[in-house]
Amino acid sequence: MTHGRSGCAIVPPYLLERLASLDDPGFGRAAAAARHSLVRRTVHSRPAGVMTDPAAALTTARPDDASQLVRSIFDARGTEQLPGALVRSEGGRPTGDPAADEAYDGLGATHALLREAFGRASIDDAGLPLEATIHFGDAYDNAFWDGARMVFGDGDGQVFERFTRSLSVIGHELSHGVVQYSANFVYEGQSGALNESVADVFGALVEQHAARQSSDQASWLIGVGLFTDQVEGLAIRSLAAPGTAYDDDVLGRDPQPGHMRDYIDTREDNGGVHLNSGIPNKAFHLAATTIGGFAWEGAGPIWYDALTAGRLTAAATFAEFAAQTVSSAESLFGIDSREHAAVVAAWTSVGVLPSE
């Protein structure tokens, strides 16, 4: 693998930068935590191609049966040393530490979606053990996939709660691993926004699958439960209505666009990967809700097939990805199916014209 970038984090840099610039003494801890998290984000975001064999960094052995779920939870105990001390292994009893047990359950829920909905044997489709490290750093304001494992901070307590609280966040970050082992989108520009969007899509599906929620019952939010009650906001992002997840005096307003006419051309955030991902996110939401039922049975398999079919380049554009989803909908459901029609209409609605 030569194109992907590890260190993909759930909280975008523009949010951390806004927090870091605060001079309000009431948010002093949050500002200090954001400044430190920005530094750590740079340290832990490795350039493309550094880790050619991510599994080599794992401490857990692969199972004999690739379909078997194998989880290991480690505790960094406030340090930034990975992986930390092992606190729970597969089949072990709950620890009583909410972060450890939420991480354990979240890894299991993600594995279950991949296996039951898509027939995938873990992240790499070859039985990769799932590892997570909790209590990373001091008031660390993020969670990230480092190319081999999930890493969770505890939040600053003023703006962010512990990052294991949100199942969609766990699903999102682990899904960066699925991208890493499949299309491996370059983490910049439109391909980077697709990387983030696919992670959001499967993060939402993990949460919906675990709760057995239909597309019309789901919140379509990423990161519910991360904000403290001092923040005016529901989550980090909304697939249903990009740009509406939060509107707060401290954090500002969610800046995500949901249509190509509002595409943000910027050098920040790796070319706006956390911003412009709102456009393909909205396309998936439209396709899923138009098809109806459980999204992991309708639009989900279409997006998964598009991602894993091997016909996309690592630098895929929105239009190229859209074209592949249209092709996947045709091959999975037929050209005259409501699924195919829903996918075409969804991309058209967000201003993306599928092109080969």
Residue positions annotated with a catalytic role: 173, 274
Does the bond joining 83 to the residue before it have cis omega, within 30 degrees of 0? Answer: yes
Contacts of 53 (CB under 8 A, 6+ apart): none
Contacts of 35 (CB under 8 A, 6+ apart): 20
Residue 215 CA to residue 205 CA, distance in Å, equals 9
Contacts of 17 (CB under 8 A, 6+ apart): 34, 38
Pairing state between β 130-134 and 71-75 = parallel
Query: How is 214-271 classified by DSSP, letter by letter?
Result: -TTT---EESTT-B-TTS-BS-SEESSSTT-SBEETTTEE----SSGGG----SHHHH
Long-range contacts of the stretch 289-294 (C-beta < 8 A, 24+): 289/215, 289/216, 290/338, 290/342, 290/345, 290/346, 291/215, 291/338, 291/339, 291/342, 292/214, 292/215, 292/216, 293/214, 293/215, 294/208, 294/209, 294/212, 294/213, 294/214, 294/215
